């Protein structure tokens, strides 16, 4: 990784703070379309002390493989150096390093030769390392995150698919298929042993069925011809049909909107959130695409009708308030990005403006984003939401903004180069690293930029 730039990026809408940087960050940026200046001198002391923000430790600096290929956690701030093209740090573990390089060579690295190649390569290798032999893709290599979240695993499968690692994508989705309940529902997270056991009493999340369908459609679209595509679809038929049936049951309501459910915030939801409604729409759109490709006309017609009804209901009920997190509220949420490509075939009416308008309200002192404007005011940037907005920008053709978010993510990696879950107000990486969801979103963003003419 390149050395820290040692300069501070300060958005004019934020309090002045110094932010340590690393990676391929330019001397000046316009983060999220806002005017940004780079300070090279210490500013005068403010009249009032800035608000105190909590300190969150960096739990891990990254992960590595030992000589046997097993994954090990790296201590925080260890600043390990990997053997080229691998997640191996032991110079004697050449066989494990060669296996990583062979795996990379079997697929593609979006943005190869560009400023973010190292970050994207590392994100792919970290996704591989976080995927167990049984297809369980855990969120992170830490006791508090070493579980399978259907959302995170689905995004990881999509990242594998678009980079040519279709077998890995299929393995992840088959593992999810084995965890899914007969009615098509998913719990918030599972133990990685494939037993279907859950680690706690977190509420089930109905968005899991939507994400599984979206990832399945992404995989099928990435397969080169009808034979492999038909074979994968046949193996994933239970996941496809159960997930679709579950979503249809959720939206078979008088309003056409789904029932309230916990979403990616993982808090009890008494009111329907955009973080539930939008992924279920993405799932129906994916199921429609799959059934059409399979020639299942009757199923496609049914799914299409429900998808149109749900889309219209989201526009009617969430749209007038600018697509807030909850019905009847006015605070924007990162789930606004779920209303845009690549999750929807086309943006919902007014969703692009709502997405644009949400950025200033979610911006945090270090330059990243919070999960929503209603998230606690702790000054912490969350990398999944920042990477999610990078992907949305890339999918909308806003290359400049997508690259600005990628530059920010690149600049705030750990010393070993891993993408952390959080970034503190002073720019320090925090919590667990690497985080699978962020890794997947970075890869998907780079691939989208590549598809649009080169990263």
Supply the CATH classification number for the domain 65-451.
1.50.10.10
Percent of the chain as helix, strand, coil, to the nearest 5 = 45, 10, 50
Angle ∠(221,227,230) on CA atoms, nearest 5: 60
Check residue 351 and give its pLDDT: 98
Return the closest-CA partner of residue 36 out of 46, 49, 25, 45. Answer: 25
Check residue 52 and give its pLDDT: 64
Q: Strand runs (DSSP E) across 7-58, as ranges?
A: 8-11, 36-39
Angle ∠(107,109,110) on CA atoms, nearest 5: 125
How many helices and strands, by DSSP H and E, does the chain display? 13, 7
Return the closest-CA partner of residue 388 out of 142, 136, 151. Answer: 151
Cα end-to-end span (Å), the chain: 19
Check residue 433 and give its pLDDT: 98
413-448 as b/e: b if 16+ CB within 10 A: bbbbbbbbbbbbbbbbbbbbbbbbbbbbbbbbbbbb
Instruction: Please tell me the distance from the alpha carbon of residue 371 to that of residue 270, in angstroms, as a whole number.
Output: 19
Q: Strand runs (DSSP E) across 348-438, as ranges?
A: 381-382, 422-423, 429-430
Instruction: Please tell me the distance from the alpha carbon of residue 331 to that of residue 358, in angstroms, as a whole number.
Output: 8
Q: Contact 89/64 with Cβ under 8 angstroms?
A: yes
Backbone φ and ψ for 430, nearest 5 degrees, come out as: -145, 170
Token pair 């998808």 is found at: 307
What is the biggest distance separating any 2 CA atoms in the chain, rounded to whole angstroms? 69
3-state class (DSSP) for residue 118: helix
Q: What is the DSSP string of 311-326?
A: HHHHHHHHGGGTSBSB
Instruction: Please tell me the distance from the alpha carbon of residue 271 to that of residue 94, in angstroms, as a whole number.
Output: 54
- Cβ-proximal residues to 394 (8 Å cutoff; 6+ apart), any chain: 402, 445, 448, 449, 452
Instruction: Please tell me the distance from the alpha carbon of residue 261 to that of residue 139, in angstroms, as a whole number.
Output: 21
Q: Contact 341/347 with Cβ under 8 angstroms?
A: yes
11: which DSSP letter? E
Q: Is the whole-model pTM more than 0.85?
A: yes
Q: Strand runs (DSSP E) across 62-221, as ranges?
A: 62-65, 71-74
Check residue 329 and give its pLDDT: 81
Bridge partners (DSSP) listed for residue 63: 73
Check residue 454 and give its pLDDT: 60
Instruction: Please tell me the distance from the alpha carbon of residue 158 to that of residue 220, in angstroms, as a whole number.
Output: 10
Tokens (6 digits) for 336: 């606004």
Tokens (6 digits) for 36: 């940004």
pLDDT along the chain (455 residues), means of 10: 33 30 36 33 39 82 95 95 96 96 98 97 98 98 97 98 98 98 97 96 95 98 92 98 98 96 90 97 98 96 98 97 91 97 97 97 97 94 98 98 98 98 97 98 98 74
């Amino acid at each position: 990784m390149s050395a820290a730039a040692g300069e501070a990026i300060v958005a004019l809408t934020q309090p002045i703070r110094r932010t340590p940087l690393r990676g391929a960050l330019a001397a000046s940026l316009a983060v999220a379309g806002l005017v940004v200046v780079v300070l090279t001198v210490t500013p005068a002391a403010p009249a009032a002390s800035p608000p105190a923000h909590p300190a969150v430790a960096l739990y891990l600096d990254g992960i590595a493989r030992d000589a046997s290929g097993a994954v090990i956690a790296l201590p925080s701030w260890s600043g390990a150096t990997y053997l080229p093209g691998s997640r191996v740090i032991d110079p004697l573990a050449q066989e494990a390093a060669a296996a990583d390089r062979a795996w990379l060579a079997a697929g593609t690295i979006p943005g190869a030769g560009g400023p973010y190649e190292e970050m994207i390569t590392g994100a792919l290798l970290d996704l591989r390392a976080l995927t167990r032999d049984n297809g369980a893709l855990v969120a992170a290599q830490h006791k508090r995150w070493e579980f399978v979240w259907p959302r995170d695993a689905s995004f990881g499968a999509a990242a594998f698919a678009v980079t040519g690692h279709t077998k890995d994508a299929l393995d992840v989705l088959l593992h999810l298929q084995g965890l899914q309940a007969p009615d098509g529902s998913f719990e918030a997270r599972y133990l990685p042993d494939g037993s279907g056991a859950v680690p706690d009493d977190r509420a089930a999340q109905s968005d899991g069925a939507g994400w599984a369908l979206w990832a399945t459609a992404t995989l099928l679209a990435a397969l080169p011809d009808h034979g492999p595509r038909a074979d994968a679809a046949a193996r994933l038929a239970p996941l496809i049909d159960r997930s679709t049936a579950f979503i249809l049951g959720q939206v078979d309501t008088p309003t056409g909107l789904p029932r309230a459910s916990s979403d990616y915030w993982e808090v009890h939801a008494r009111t329907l959130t955009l973080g539930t409604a939008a992924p279920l729409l993405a799932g129906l759109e994916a199921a429609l695409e799959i059934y059409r490709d399979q020639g299942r006309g009757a199923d496609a017609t049914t799914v299409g009708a429900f998808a149109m009804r749900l889309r219209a209901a989201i526009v009617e009920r969430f749209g007038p308030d600018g697509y807030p997190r909850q019905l009847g509220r006015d605070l924007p949420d990162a789930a606004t990005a779920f209303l845009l490509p690549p999750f929807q075939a086309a943006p919902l009416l007014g969703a692009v403006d709502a997405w644009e308008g949400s950025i200033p309200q979610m911006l945090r002192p270090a330059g990243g984003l919070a999960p929503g404007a209603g998230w606690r005011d702790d000054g912490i940037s969350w990398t999944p939401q920042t990477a999610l907005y990078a992907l949305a920008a890339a999918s909308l053709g806003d290359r400049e903004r997508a690259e600005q978010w990628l530059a920010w993510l690149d600049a705030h990696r750990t010393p070993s180069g891993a993408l952390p879950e959080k970034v503190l107000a002073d720019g320090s990486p925090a919590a667990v690293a690497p985080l699978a969801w962020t890794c997947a979103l970075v890869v998907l963003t780079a691939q989208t930029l590549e598809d649009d003419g080169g990263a």
